[in-house]
């Protein structure tokens, strides 16, 4: 696949970059945030609404779509784009994270992962070859190599074994790929061990993937450790290929990790917290259920250009949440995703104009992140909820 990524500009005082992904379903300016449509839908939103908020690429989940409705059925409709009526690019993950989050249902082996469906208990085997075949049936523009995501904390020896499997599986994924219209990314792993991360980056870049993801972060570790791992890893990745940080989606993290050279992000966080009434503003998250919003005759965020903020008062959205009306979740999701997409648009524009350092400083000075203890507690509850669903 020729000319998949074009690097347009790199910042002078940081590793921040602006680029373009060239895909069969259109170009994607980077840095970019990808809304997550796990089961071929971004929760509560239509494809038209995603287009209106400026989404350039979305992510769907190989594991879930394989189980329901089945990748063969989706292929019979002409692929995921036609099945879900989404005209722009799609990235599908490999199912590696689901192996981690639903680990009690599966068994990792050197040849792949055997697991029971969380839907009906049926037995399945994911091998690198099978995962590539499924993603080729789904037909996404960007597909991911099968990998093993290790938990945090986990010891060095366990991570060594998992990394060996990830590297072996990466080679097998490359050998199994038959479609050349899909860009296959390798995934750097290695837990929280810098020496393993360096080893992984060097090995995978030797295989010459079209792009590289960094997996196994945002799994419960402190943010300072995430940043340290990135600083050890990113400089070893090719400058002329895209870098994708998987599963990271707090606004402050996007700004900080763009500064460390990341081009692509995805996370369920914006829509998940939206459904719980937590809305992003330039000053941090706000709980729309708080009494202070009950009679507030102004938008949730006066600087926001989303449909929700252009059309409704904070008091109305507060009323919808208090009344448990379904429109509440839709309006909140529109707002949070537009906030993330617009932030990346502003970041990209600042890189092109040479003013990223100023934007970064001003944004981080005004934005109050969620307390780390609260964040880690919420993450643990979410992971546990996924296990209980299974």
Q: Which sequence positions are flagged as catalytic? A: 93, 266
Beta strands in 11-141 (DSSP E): 17-23, 26-30, 32-34, 58-61, 90-93, 106-109, 112-116, 123-126
Closest to 351 in 3D by CA, of 265, 258, 281: 258
Please tell me whether the peptide bond between 31 and the residue prior to it is cis, using omega within 30 degrees of 0.
Answer: yes
Contacts of 12 (CB under 8 A, 6+ apart): 354
Angle between helices 156-176 and 128-138 (to 10 degrees): 50
Residue 21, Ramachandran bin (φ over 0: left; ψ between -120 and 50: alpha; else beta)? beta
Please tell me whether the peptide bond between 62 and the residue prior to it is cis, using omega within 30 degrees of 0.
Answer: no
The residue with tokens 């350039």 is 56
Residue 318: both structure tokens together:
């507060």
d(CA 317, CA 323): 10
SS percent in the chain: helix, strand, coil, step 5: 45, 20, 35
d(CA 318, CA 336): 15
Beta strands in the chain (DSSP E): 5-10, 17-23, 26-30, 32-34, 58-61, 90-93, 106-109, 112-116, 123-126, 142-144, 183-188, 211-214, 243-245, 264-266, 278-281, 284-287
d(CA 376, CA 354): 35
d(CA 384, CA 390): 10
């Amino acid at each position: 696949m020729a000319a998949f990524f074009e690097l347009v500009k790199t910042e002078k005082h940081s590793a921040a970059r602006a680029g373009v992904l060239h895909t069969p379903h259109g170009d994607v300016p980077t840095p970019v945030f990808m809304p997550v449509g796990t089961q071929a839908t971004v929760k509560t939103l239509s494809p038209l609404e995603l287009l209106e908020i400026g989404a350039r690429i979305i992510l769907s989940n190989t594991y879930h779509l394989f189980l329901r409705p089945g990748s063969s059925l989706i292929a019979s409709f002409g692929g995921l784009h036609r099945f879900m009526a989404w005209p722009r690019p799609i990235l599908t993950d490999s199912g590696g994270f689901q192996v981690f989050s639903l680990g009690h249902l599966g068994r990792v082996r050197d040849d792949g992962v055997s697991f029971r469906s969380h839907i009906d208990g049926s037995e399945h085997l994911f091998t690198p070859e099978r995962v590539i075949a499924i993603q080729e049936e789904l037909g996404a523009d960007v597909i991911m190599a099968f990998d093993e995501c290790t938990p945090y904390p986990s010891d060095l020896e366990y991570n060594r074994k998992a990394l060996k499997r990830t590297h072996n599986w990466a080679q097998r994924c490359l050998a199994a790929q038959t479609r050349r219209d899909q860009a296959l990314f390798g995934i750097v792993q290695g837990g929280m061990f810098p020496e393993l991360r360096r080893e992984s980056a060097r090995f995978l870049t030797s295989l010459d993937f079209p792009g590289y993801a960094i997996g196994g972060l945002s799994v419960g570790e402190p943010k300072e450790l995430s940043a340290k791992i990135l600083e050890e890893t990113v400089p070893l990745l090719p400058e002329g290929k895209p870098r994708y940080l998987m599963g990271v989606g707090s606004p402050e993290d996007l700004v900080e990790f763009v500064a460390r050279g990341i081009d692509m992000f995805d996370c369920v966080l914006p829509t998940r917290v939206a459904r719980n009434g937590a809305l992003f503003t330039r000053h941090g998250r706000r709980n729309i259920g708080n009494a202070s919003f009950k009679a507030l005759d102004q938008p949730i965020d006066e600087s926001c250009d989303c449909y929700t903020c252009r059309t409704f008062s904070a008091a109305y959205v507060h009323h919808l949440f208090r009344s448990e009306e379904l429109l509440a979740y839709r309006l909140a999701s529109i707002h949070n995703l537009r906030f993330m997409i617009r932030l990346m648009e502003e970041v990209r524009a600042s890189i092109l104009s040479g003013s990223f350092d100023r934007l970064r400083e001003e944004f981080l000075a005004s934005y109050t992140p969620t307390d780390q203890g609260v964040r880690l507690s919420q993450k643990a509850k979410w992971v546990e909820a996924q296990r209980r669903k299974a």
